[in-house]
């Protein structure tokens, strides 16, 4: 009886050991597969992380580009605004371009030819001598002459607008040669296309 009991115990032990072994193998496999699963998760996480990083980088680049574009736009705006200070001037009752006027128009044309997104309005003005109506026509001629010259330098007609204010918007309202010379002018407004 005692011997039988020992055999049973031994058998049970063997069985349990083999079970342990078997189950150990099984456990090992499960762990392994778990590990693989874990690896996959990690790699997914790593991809997400790199995506996030690259998005952030892209955003930075975009931000940088936007900043750059903004700076560029600001630079262009400043350059465009500078043309407001570059009136061209005319002799009394004349609308032909002086050499100074051609030089300034050359600068404007070269700038516009590089900046396709911009257009120009040319305002023609006169001094206050002579009739208002004739001066409206004269101011228009002054603007149109500058427009033709810009077109001859390759600027598309559609980018150039003209308007005459005749003698109605003098820079200097005084009645003397200095004021008159200042007032006989084309004024340029360079603006970004809408």
Partner 1 sequence: MRKIIALLIFSVVFWCSSAACGKVYIDINSPAFQKFPLAIPEFKDLGNMKPGENLSAWFADQLSSTLKITGFFKMISQDAFLEDQSRAGITVEEIDFSNWSSIGSDFLVKGGFSYDGKNLAVEFRLFDAIEGKLITGKKYWGKSEDKKAMVLKFADETLLALTGKGGVFDTKIAFVGKEGSSSEIYTINFDGSDPVKVTTYKSLSLSPQWSQDGAKIAFTSYKAGNPDCYVIDVASGTTQKISSFRGLNLPASWSLDGKKILMVLSKDGNEDIYIKHLDSGSLQRLTNDRAIDVSPTWSTDGKKIAFVSNRSGSPQIFVMDSEGKNVRRLTFEGSYNSSPCWSPDGTKIAYEGSSNGCFQIFSVGEDGNNLMQLTFEEGGGESPSWSPDGRYLVFSSKKNDREMVCIINANGSDLRVLPDIKGVKSSHSPSWSQHLNLY
- Is 57 or 169 the residue whose CB approaches partner 1 more closely? 169
Residue 111 or 187 having the CB closest to partner 1: 187
* Subset of residues 47 to 106 that bind partner 1, contact rule: CB under 8 A: 93
Q: Which is nearer to partner 1, 72 or 172 (CB)?
A: 172
**Dihedral, CA atoms, 56, 59, 60, 66, nearest 10 degrees?**
-170
- Subset of residues 115 to 134 that bind partner 1, contact rule: CB under 8 A: 128-134
- Supply the minimum distance, in Å, between the C-beta of residue 129 and partner 1: 6
Nearest-approach distance from CB 85 to partner 1, in angstroms: 19
Residues in 157-186 that interact with partner 1 by CB under 8 A: 162-166, 168-169, 173-175
Shorter beta-carbon distance to partner 1: residue 162 or 186: 162
Instruction: Using the structure block, give the residue that is written with the tokens 């004021």.
Output: 179
CA–CA dist 28, 43 (Å, integer): 22
Distance CA 117, CA 188 (A): 16
Among 125, 141, 184, 187, binds partner 1 (CB under 8 A): 141
Long-range interactions of 94-100: CB distance < 8 A, separation 24+: 95/124, 95/138, 95/141, 95/142, 95/144, 95/145, 96/145, 97/145, 97/146, 97/149
Q: Shortest gap between Cβ of 191 and partner 1 (angstroms)?
A: 14
- Residue 187 CB coordination number (10 Å): 21
Q: Residues in the site for partner 1, rule: CB under 8 A?
A: 93, 128-134, 136-138, 140-141, 144, 162-166, 168-169, 173-175
């Amino acid at each position: 009886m005692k011997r039988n009991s020992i055999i049973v115990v031994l058998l049970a032990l063997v069985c349990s050991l083999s079970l342990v072994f078997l189950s150990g193998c099984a456990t090992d496999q499960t762990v392994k597969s778990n590990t693989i699963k874990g690896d996959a998760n990690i790699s997914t996480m790593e991809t997400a992380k790199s995506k996030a990083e690259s998005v952030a980088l892209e955003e930075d680049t975009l931000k940088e580009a936007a900043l750059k574009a903004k700076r560029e736009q600001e630079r262009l705006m400043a350059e465009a605004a500078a043309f407001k200070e570059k009136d061209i001037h005319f002799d009394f009752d004349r609308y032909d371009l002086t050499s100074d006027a051609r030089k300034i128009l050359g600068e404007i044309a070269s700038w516009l030819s590089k900046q396709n997104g911009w257009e120009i309005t040319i305002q023609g003005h006169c001094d206050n001598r002579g009739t208002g109506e004739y001066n409206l026509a004269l101011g228009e001629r002054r603007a149109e002459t500058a427009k033709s010259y810009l077109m001859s330098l390759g600027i598309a007609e559609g980018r150039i607008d003209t308007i005459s204010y005749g003698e109605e918007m003098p820079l200097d309202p005084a009645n003397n040669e200095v004021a008159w010379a200042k007032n006989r002018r084309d004024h340029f407004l360079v603006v970004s296309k809408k």
